[in-house]
């Protein structure tokens, strides 16, 4: 029976960062995932300032900046016209080395993390599925299905569940995952386009109850469009096409789409597990909490989970801290995500929609120092900006 100090289930950014950080600390890990290949679509884009600050300790920050796209500001549109521009640099220049929104697509992000893991002598075991595990006090015994279909058991001091919305680790823990699913349908399109909103900055339309934003990608004329629909089209997600939503994009943000490289629709969940720890099992990222994609908070909070848990595990497994230190992981994670089940995803009037968008933008800073978040929200709520949007 094989043995490691920490068994990590799931190889999205959360699981990979947990594996990388623990490996750097000298903790033996085994990381498994049931998928055969890494993802090839861009998915999560935004890397927050706090994540970049933490990535400096792994010598990752410069790579992410050089190979991604730096977004210096957000433009706010009303009735087809740009009405306000808010500079990230003006707000955070004296508070963080990274006063901008960094765009670095998830597929590239995962390739970087896997490569760094391999440099340290660790590797991902794909097509290896966690079936169940047992917590027998001093250790975890996990039951896996390997690529050839055989089943095997392995031992670990702890198990990290980074296995997403349908987490087997969470299911085996027996902890509930209360929350719900937003009614409105999200769509995402990676496009090649032109127009005033294709200028390397983030642009958000505040006209309608539905959300619409343009996120720049690296490369001339490349962008990601993210929006919602909640009329009758939302009931036919399987047949919705880009042509069904492109009219509003052209009208509201003056975007001329030349080519659609990827289009997809999805529903968004808002859930938080009742417990992030039970015995020697821990939940991280989407296995513990899942959010609206606004502001890129999902991936970044998951990375924060991984880094916070990693040093605690090192300290406890190494005998330099008592086990009760691990209880602080759940408390701190809940505080960091700032979850409220009563928070509404989007507002329903132009004025409240502006506030909702401002709150979404401010989430960009919530993983950084508290003063950054407070400053950014006050700037966005200033009379001059609100007046320009009316």
**Domain of 257: which CATH number?**
3.30.9.10
Q: Are residues 116 and 236 in the same domain?
A: no
Token pair of 18, please?
């947990």
Show which of 204, 235, 266 is a domain's final residue. Answer: 266
Contact 159, 6 (CB under 8 A): yes
- Alpha-helix runs per DSSP H in 142-288: 168-173, 246-253
Q: Are residues 123 and 151 in the same domain?
A: yes
pLDDT digits (tens, 9 = 90+) for 98-131: 999 999 999 999 999 999 999 999 999 999 999 9
Residue 364, domain member (yes or no): yes
- Phi and psi at 322, nearest 5°, equal -75, 160
Q: Are residues 303 and 287 in the same domain?
A: yes
Give pLDDT, residue 40: 59
Contact 18, 288 (CB under 8 A): no
Residue 166, domain member (yes or no): yes
Q: What is the distance between the alpha carbons of residues 193 and 32, in angstroms, rounded to a whole number?
A: 39
Taking Cα atoms as reference points, which of 332, 277, 378, 336 lies closest to residue 51? 336
How far the first Cα of the chain sits from its last, in Å, is 66
pLDDT at 348 over 60: no
Query: 377 in the Ramachandran plot: left (φ > 0), alpha (ψ -120 to 50) or beta?
Result: alpha
Q: Are residues 280 and 303 in the same domain?
A: yes
357: three-class secondary structure by DSSP: helix
Token pair of 51, please?
């994540």
Judging by DSSP bridges, how do beta strands 179-194 and 256-272 pair with one another?
Answer: antiparallel
pLDDT digits (tens, 9 = 90+) for 179-236: 988 778 889 999 999 999 999 999 999 876 678 999 999 889 999 999 888 777 777 7
Q: Are residues 279 and 328 in the same domain?
A: yes
Q: Are residues 158 and 206 in the same domain?
A: no
The one-character DSSP state at 231 is S
Q: Are residues 32 and 109 in the same domain?
A: yes
Q: Are residues 169 and 229 in the same domain?
A: no
The helix or strand, by DSSP H or E, that contains position 268, with its residue range, turns out to be strand 256-272
Q: Are residues 75 and 127 in the same domain?
A: no
Residue 158's alpha-carbon distances to 95, 106, 228, in angstroms, are: 36, 27, 40
Q: What is the distance between the alpha carbons of residues 241 and 269, in angstroms, rounded to a whole number?
A: 22
The helix or strand, by DSSP H or E, that contains position 376, with its residue range, turns out to be helix 370-380
pLDDT digits (tens, 9 = 90+) for 225-273: 998 887 777 777 888 899 988 888 888 999 999 999 999 988 888 899 9
- Phi and psi at 350, nearest 5°, equal -55, -45
Q: With b meaning 16 or more CB within 10 Å and e meaning fewer, what string describes 310-329?
A: bebbbebbeeeeeeeebeeb
The larger pLDDT score, comparing residue 383 to residue 27, is at 27
Residue 22, domain member (yes or no): yes
Where residue 145 falls among pLDDT bands split at 50, 70, 90? Answer: very high
Show which of 266, 292, 316 is a domain's final residue. Answer: 266
Q: What is the distance between the alpha carbons of residues 360 and 342, in angstroms, rounded to a whole number?
A: 16
Residue 133, domain member (yes or no): yes
Q: In 10 A of CB 222, how many CB atoms? A: 17
Q: What is the distance between the alpha carbons of residues 80 and 127, in angstroms, rounded to a whole number?
A: 48
Residue 155, domain member (yes or no): yes
Q: Are residues 53 and 117 in the same domain?
A: yes
Judging by DSSP bridges, how do beta strands 29-33 and 2-9 pair with one another?
Answer: parallel
Residue 259, domain member (yes or no): yes
Residue 211's contacts (CB-CB under 8 Å, 6 or more residues apart) are 204, 226, 227, 228, 294, 346, 357
Token pair of 279, please?
């015995």
Domain of residue 364 covers: 71-98+344-389
Q: What is the distance between the alpha carbons of residues 371 and 54, in angstroms, rounded to a whole number?
A: 18
Residue 208, domain member (yes or no): yes
Q: Are residues 83 and 36 in the same domain?
A: no
Q: What is the distance between the alpha carbons of residues 164 and 325, in angstroms, rounded to a whole number?
A: 25
pLDDT digits (tens, 9 = 90+) for 29-82: 999 999 988 775 657 899 999 999 999 999 999 999 999 999 999 999 998 999
Q: What is the distance between the alpha carbons of residues 387 and 72, in angstroms, rounded to a whole number?
A: 23
Residue 64, domain member (yes or no): no
The larger pLDDT score, comparing residue 345 to residue 307, is at 307
Give pLDDT, residue 354: 37
Q: Are residues 32 and 141 in the same domain?
A: yes
Taking Cα atoms as reference points, which of 223, 174, 229, 234 lies closest to residue 201? 223
Number of domains in the chain: 3
**Domain of 289: which CATH number?**
3.50.50.60
């Amino acid at each position: 029976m094989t043995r490691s100090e920490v068994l990590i289930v799931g190889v999205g950014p959360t699981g990979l960062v947990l594996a990388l950080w623990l490996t750097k600390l000298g903790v033996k890990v085994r990381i498994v995932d049931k998928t055969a290949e890494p993802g090839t679509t861009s998915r999560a884009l935004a890397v927050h300032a706090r994540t970049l600050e933490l990535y400096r300790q792994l010598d990752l920050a410069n790579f992410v900046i050089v190979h991604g796209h730096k977004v210096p500001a957000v433009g706010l549109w009303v009735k087809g016209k740009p009405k306000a521009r808010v500079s990230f640099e003006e707000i955070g220049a004296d508070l963080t080395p990274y006063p901008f929104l960094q765009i670095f697509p998830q597929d590239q992000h995962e390739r970087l993390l896997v490569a760094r893991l391999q440099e340290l002598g660790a590797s991902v075991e794909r097509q290896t599925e966690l079936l169940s595990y047992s917590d027998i006090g001093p250790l975890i015994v996990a039951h896996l299905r390997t690529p050839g279909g055989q089943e095997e058991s392995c031992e670990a001091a702890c198990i990290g569940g980074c296995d997403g919305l349908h987490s087997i680790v969470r299911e085996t823990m027996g902890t509930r995952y209360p929350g719900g699913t937003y009614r409105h349908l999200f769509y995402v399109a990676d496009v090649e386009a032109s127009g005033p909103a294709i200028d390397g900055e983030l642009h958000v339309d505040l006209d309608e109850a539905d959300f619409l934003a343009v996120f720049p990608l690296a490369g001339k004329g490349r962008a990601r469009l993210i929006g919602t629909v909640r009329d009758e089209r939302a009931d036919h997600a399987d047949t919705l096409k880009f042509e069904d939503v492109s009219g509003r994009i052209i009208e509201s943000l003056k975007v001329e789409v030349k080519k659609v490289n990827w289009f997809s629709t999805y529903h968004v969940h808002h859930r938080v597990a009742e417990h992030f720890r039970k015995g020697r099992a821990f939940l991280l990222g989407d296995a513990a909490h899942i959010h609206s994609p606004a502001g890129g908070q999902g991936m970044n909070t998951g990375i924060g989970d991984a880094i916070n848990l990693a040093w605690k595990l090192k300290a406890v497994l190494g005998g330099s801290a008592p086990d009760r230190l691990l209880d602080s992981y759940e408390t701190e994670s809940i505080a960091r995500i700032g979850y409220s089940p009563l928070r509404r995803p989007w507002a329903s009037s132009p004025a409240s929609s502006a506030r909702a968008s401002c709150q979404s933008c401010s989430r960009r800073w919530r993983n950084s120092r508290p003063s950054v978040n407070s400053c950014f929200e006050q700037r966005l709520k200033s009379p001059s900006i609100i007046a320009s949007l009316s």
